[in-house]
Copies of this chain bind each other. A is one copy, B any other.
Amino acid sequence: MNRASDSRGCDGHPGRARRYDAAGTRSALLGAAALRFARYGYDGCSVRDIAKDAGVDAALVYRYFGSKEALFDAVSASTGMFEPLRHLPLDEVSAWICDVVSTGPTEEEAPHPLLTKLRSSSREETVGRLREEITEVFSEGFARRLEGEDAELRAELMAAWLMGITLLRLAIRSPALAATPDETLLRFLRAGIDPLLDAGCPGSRSEDG
């Protein structure tokens, strides 16, 4: 409960928080909001909850961001997490996916940006932006570098896997995915991804319709 409320007291004097610090308060609100939104979704947490985590009054959300929606936008927008895929060598795609779905060292302090959007996937705007981002980076950008038929579909299948693994590993925490080290995961990720990269040849192994 009071885990995140001390995030503002680190200005050099422990326990002696600087009282007037607009930038610090703003970022404290951003951090608390990122955590709350990622864990409980947009509808699952209130402005008062976030403000309490940040250690300030809820009214400051409206002074610094204007509305709850704007705060959510500030937290979830423009992460650019898919950008590296644009100019990534094809044989490094699996490793990149493996890296994206990695829990990272600071899961408590900085939640996975994809989780924030997945947990609020009931919001029309969140879904819309996610669709735009995936369409741009995967269906259009990345698919253009894939040879063979149905490149867009194959690209989106990789995106689907990326999101599914993120969901199972970080949100649902299925036993094997949550416990498996990245190197092991990478091995089997490659086994599934490579056939999708190598164009449609393997699909005609059993039957060439």
Contact = CB atoms under 8 A, between A and B. Distances in A.
A153 B122 contact: no
A2 interface: no
A92 to B, nearest CB: 12
Given A163-B168, A192-B193, A192-B195, A153 B127 contact: no
B150 A180 contact: yes
Q: For chain A, what secondary structure do more than half of its interface residues adopt (helix, strand, loop), or is it mixed? A: helix
A160 B153 contact: no
Interface stretch (A24-32, A39-47, A69-77): A39-47
A206 B189 CA distance: 13
A49 interface: no
10 contacts: A39-B122, A118-B167, A119-B121, A131-B172, A131-B174, A150-B184, A156-B174, A161-B192, A188-B196, A192-B195
A206 B173 CA distance: 30
Classify chain A's interface size.
Answer: 35 or more
Contacts of A159: 164, 168, 174
A177 B163 contact: no
A94 to B, nearest CB: 11
Contacts of A157: 161, 165, 177, 188-189, 192
Contacts of A138: 174
A191 interface: yes
B134 A172 contact: yes
A119 B163 CA distance: 14
A86 interface: no
B187 A191 contact: no
Interface in A114-138: 118-119, 121-123, 127, 130-131, 134-135, 138
Contacts of A168: 134, 156, 159-160, 163
